[in-house]
Amino acid sequence: MTALLLRRMLRHKGFLTGLALMVLLALLAAFAPLVAGHDPFGQDLAHRLMPPAWSAGGSWTHLFGTDHLGRDYLARLLYGARISLAIGLGAASVGCAIGVTLGVCAGYFGGRVDQAVSYLLTCQLALPGLLLAMALVFLIGPSLAVVIVVIGSLHWSYYLVVTRAATMQLKRLDFIAAAQAIGESRLQVIVHELLPNLLNPILVIFTLEVGVAVLAEAALSFLGVGVQPPTPSWGLMIAEGKDAMFFRPWLVVLPGAALFLLVMAANLLGDGLRDVTAPESRN
Amino acid sequence: MLSYALRRGVLAIAVAITVSLATFFLLNFATDPAQALAGEDATPEVVQQIREEYGFDKPLAVQYLRWLGGLVHGDFGQSYHWRSPVGALIASHAPVTIRLALMAIAITILVAIPLGAIAALRPNSFVDRLSLSVAVGAQAIPGFWLGLVLIILFAVKFPIFPVSGDSTWKHFVLPAIVLGAGSVPSVMRLTRSGLLEVLGSDYIRTARAKGFRGVRLLTRHAMRNAMLPVVNVLAVQLGHKLGGSVIVESVFALNGLGRLAWQSILGGDVPTVQMLVFVFAITFVVLTFLADLLGAWLDPRIRLG
Here the CATH number for the domain that contains residue B171 is: 1.10.3720.10
Contact in structure between A222 and A239 (CB atoms under 8 Å)? yes
Q: Does some domain include residue A272?
A: yes
Q: Which of B218, B217, B224, B222 is nearest to B201 (CA)?
A: B222
- Measure in Å the smallest separation between the Cα of A262 and chain B Cα atoms: 8
Strand partners, A66: A72
Tell me the pLDDT tens digit for each residue of B6-28. Answer: 988 999 999 999 999 988 888 88
Does B27 lie in the same domain as B148? no
Q: Measured between CB atoms, which of B27, B239, B288 is closest to A139?
A: B27
State the pLDDT at residue A165.
93
- pLDDT band for position B212 (cuts 50, 70, 90): confident
Q: Measured between CB atoms, which of A132, A136, A238 is closest to B145?
A: A238
End-to-end CA distance of chain A: 23
3-class secondary-structure state, position A66 = strand
Q: Residue A145: exposed, middle, or buried by beta-carbon count in 10 A (0-12, 13-18, 19+)?
A: exposed
- pLDDT band for position A283 (cuts 50, 70, 90): very low
Asked whether the predicted pLDDT for residue A107 surpasses 90, the reply is yes
Asked whether the predicted pLDDT for residue B44 surpasses 70, the reply is yes
Does B283 lie in the same domain as B180? yes
Asked whether the predicted pLDDT for residue A95 surpasses 50, the reply is yes
End-to-end CA distance of chain B: 11
Q: Does some domain include residue B213?
A: yes
Stretch among A7-21, B92-106, B177-191, B202-216 having the lowest mean pLDDT:
B202-216
Range of the domain at A196: 8-28+73-278
Stretch among B51-65, B105-119, B135-149 having the lowest mean pLDDT:
B51-65
Query: Are A138 and B30 in contact (CB < 8 Å)?
Result: no
Query: Are A134 and B265 in contact (CB < 8 Å)?
Result: yes
Q: What are phi and psi of B85, to 5 degrees?
A: -65, 140
Stretch among A148-152, A249-253, B123-127 having the lowest mean pLDDT:
B123-127
Residues 181-240 of B with CB under 8 A from A: 193, 196, 236, 239-240
Sign of the dihedral through C-alpha A185, A190, A194, A195: negative
Contact in structure between A197 and A170 (CB atoms under 8 Å)? yes
Q: Which of A51, A52, A43 is nearest to A70 (CA)?
A: A43
Quote the mean pLDDT of chain A.
89
Q: Does B141 touch chain A (CB under 8 A)?
A: yes
Does B122 lie in the same domain as B58? no
State the pLDDT at residue B305.
63
Strand partners, A72: A66
Share of chain B above pLDDT 70, in %: 97
Give the type of residue at B255. Answer: N
- pLDDT band for position B31 (cuts 50, 70, 90): low
Number of CB pairs, chain A paired with chain B, less than 8 A apart: 141
Query: Are B141 and A249 in contact (CB < 8 Å)?
Result: no
- How far is residue B149's CA from residue A254's CA, in Å, rounded to a whole number? 11
Asked whether the predicted pLDDT for residue B79 surpasses 90, the reply is no
List CB contacts of A75: < 8 A, sequence separation 6 or more. Answer: A32, A36, A37, A38, A39, A40, A232
Query: Are A252 and B152 in contact (CB < 8 Å)?
Result: yes
Chain A residues within an 8 Å CB radius of B246 = 130-131, 134, 223
Helix (H) or strand (E) holding B207: helix B202-209
Give the type of residue at B272. Answer: T
Share of chain B above pLDDT 90, in %: 21
Q: Does some domain include residue A50?
A: no
- How far is residue A120's CA from residue A125's CA, in Å, rounded to a whole number? 9
Tell me the pLDDT tens digit for each residue of B125-179. Answer: 888 888 888 888 888 888 889 999 998 888 877 888 877 777 788 888 899 999 9
Q: Does some domain include residue A235?
A: yes
Q: Does some domain include residue B227?
A: yes
Share of chain A above pLDDT 70, in %: 98
Q: Does some domain include residue A53?
A: no
State the pLDDT at residue B276.
92
User: For the domain that residue A135 is a member of, what is the CATH number?
Assistant: 1.10.3720.10
- How far is residue A96's CA from residue A116's CA, in Å, rounded to a whole number? 19
Does B103 lie in the same domain as B189? yes
Contact in structure between B232 and B187 (CB atoms under 8 Å)? no
User: Which of B39, B72, B105 is where one domain is finished?
Assistant: B72
Q: Which of A15, A26, A73 is nearest to A47 (CA)?
A: A73
Query: Are A128 and B141 in contact (CB < 8 Å)?
Result: no
Tell me the pLDDT tens digit for each residue of A34-48. Answer: 887 788 887 777 777
What stretches of chain A adopt beta strand conformation (E)? none
Fill in the DSSP letter of residue A51: P
Q: Does some domain include residue B81?
A: no
Optimal mutation site among A17, A87, A115, A123, interface B, most CBs of chain B within 10 A:
A123
Q: Does some domain include residue B82?
A: no
Query: Are B243 and A218 in contact (CB < 8 Å)?
Result: no
Contact in structure between A122 and B281 (CB atoms under 8 Å)? no
Instruction: Please state the pTM of the whole predicted model.
Output: 0.89
Q: How many domains does chain B have?
A: 2
State the pLDDT at residue B130.
87
Would you state the torsion angle of the CA atoms of residues A127, A81, B31, A135, taken in this order, to the nearest 10 degrees? -40
3-class secondary-structure state, position B85 = strand
List CB contacts of A270: < 8 A, sequence separation 6 or more. Answer: A18, A204, A205, A206, A207, A208, A211
Q: Does B17 touch chain A (CB under 8 A)?
A: no
Q: Which of B91, B96, B60 is nearest to B74 (CA)?
A: B91
Q: How many domains does chain A have?
A: 1
Q: Does some domain include residue B207?
A: yes
Report the alpha-carbon angle B92-B97-B98, nearest 5.
Answer: 95
- How far is residue B208's CA from residue A162's CA, in Å, rounded to a whole number? 36
| Residue of chain A whose Cα is closest to the Cα of B124 | A283
State the pLDDT at residue A222.
93
- Measure in Å the smallest separation between the Cα of B153 and chain A Cα atoms: 10
Tell me the pLDDT tens digit for each residue of A42-75. Answer: 777 777 777 887 777 777 777 787 887 878 888 8
Q: Does some domain include residue A216?
A: yes
Query: Are A263 and B30 in contact (CB < 8 Å)?
Result: no
Mean pLDDT score, A181-185: 90
Does B269 lie in the same domain as B127? yes
More confident residue, B242 or A203: A203
| Residue of chain A whose Cα is closest to the Cα of B154 | A246
Does B163 lie in the same domain as B26? no
Q: Does some domain include residue A52?
A: no
Range of the domain at B155: 88-298
| Residue of chain B whose Cα is closest to the Cα of A136 | B27
Percentages (nearest 5) of helix, strand, coil residues in chain B: 80, 0, 20
- How far is residue B224's CA from residue B203's CA, in Å, rounded to a whole number? 13
Query: What is the number of helices (H) and of strands (E) in chain B?
Result: 16, 0
Tell me the pLDDT tens digit for each residue of B254-267. Answer: 889 999 999 999 88
Q: Measured between CB atoms, which of B15, B137, B239 is closest to A123?
A: B15
Would you state the torsion angle of the CA atoms of residues A38, A44, A50, A52, taken in this order, to the nearest 10 degrees? 0
Q: Which of A90, A51, A83 is nearest to A67 (CA)?
A: A51
The answer, yes or no, to whether the previous bond of A230 is cis (omega within 30 of 0) is yes
Q: At what angle do helices B270-298 and B86-121 cross, to 10 degrees?
A: 40
Tell me the pLDDT tens digit for each residue of B235-248. Answer: 888 888 887 788 89
Contact in structure between B259 and B267 (CB atoms under 8 Å)? no
Q: Does some domain include residue B252?
A: yes
Asked whether the predicted pLDDT for residue A168 surpasses 90, the reply is yes
- Measure in Å the smallest separation between the Cα of B34 and chain A Cα atoms: 10
3-class secondary-structure state, position B75 = coil
- How far is residue A136's CA from residue A238's CA, in Å, rounded to a whole number? 22
Does B103 lie in the same domain as B47? no
